[in-house]
Amino acid sequence: MKTVVLPAYELEKLSHALQVLKDGGLVAFPTDTVYGLGAMAFNPQAIVRLYQAKGRSSDNPIPVLIASATELTRIALKISPMACQLAARFWPGPVTLVVWRRLSLPKEISATPTVGIRVPDHALAQALLTAAGPLAVTSANRSNQPTSCTAAQVLDGLDGRIDLILDGGKTPGGEPSTVVDCTQAIPQILRPGPIREQEILESLTKT
58 secondary structure, DSSP code: T
pLDDT in tens, 2-18: 999 999 887 788 999 99
CATH number at residue 73: 3.90.870.10
pLDDT in tens, 39-63: 999 999 999 999 999 999 989 999 9
Q: What is the pLDDT of residue 86?
A: 96
Measure the CA–CA gap between 132 and 53, rounded to whole angstroms: 21
Q: What is the pLDDT of residue 12?
A: 83
Q: What is the pLDDT of residue 9?
A: 82
* Amino acid type, 116: G
Residue 146 domain flag: yes
CA atoms within 13 A on the CB side of 195: 24
Report the chain's mean pLDDT, rounded to a whole number: 95
Residue 14 domain flag: yes
The H or E element containing residue 20 is helix 11-22
Residue 161 domain flag: yes
Residue 129 domain flag: yes
pLDDT in tens, 60-85: 999 999 999 999 999 999 899 999 99
Q: Average pLDDT for residues 122-128, to the nearest whole number?
A: 95
Total count of domains within the chain:
1
Asked if residue 186 has pLDDT above 70, the reply is yes
Residue 145 domain flag: yes
Residue 204 domain flag: no
Residue 197 domain flag: no
Taken in order 8, 13, 14, 17, the sign of the CA dihedral is negative
Asked if residue 122 has pLDDT above 60, the reply is yes
Contacts with 67 (C-beta within 8 Å, 6 or more apart), sequence order: 119, 126, 129, 130, 133
Q: Average pLDDT for residues 103-112, to the nearest whole number?
A: 94
Q: Average pLDDT for residues 163-187, to the nearest whole number?
A: 96
Domain assignment of residue 48, given as a range: 4-77+105-174
Q: What is the pLDDT of residue 78?
A: 82
- In terms of phi and psi (left: phi > 0; alpha: psi -120 to 50; beta: otherwise), the region of 118 is beta
Asked if residue 153 has pLDDT above 70, the reply is yes
Residue 119 domain flag: yes
Q: What is the pLDDT of residue 145?
A: 95
Q: What is the pLDDT of residue 35?
A: 98
**Per-residue confidence at 114, pLDDT binned at 50, 70, 90?**
very high
Q: What is the pLDDT of residue 207?
A: 53
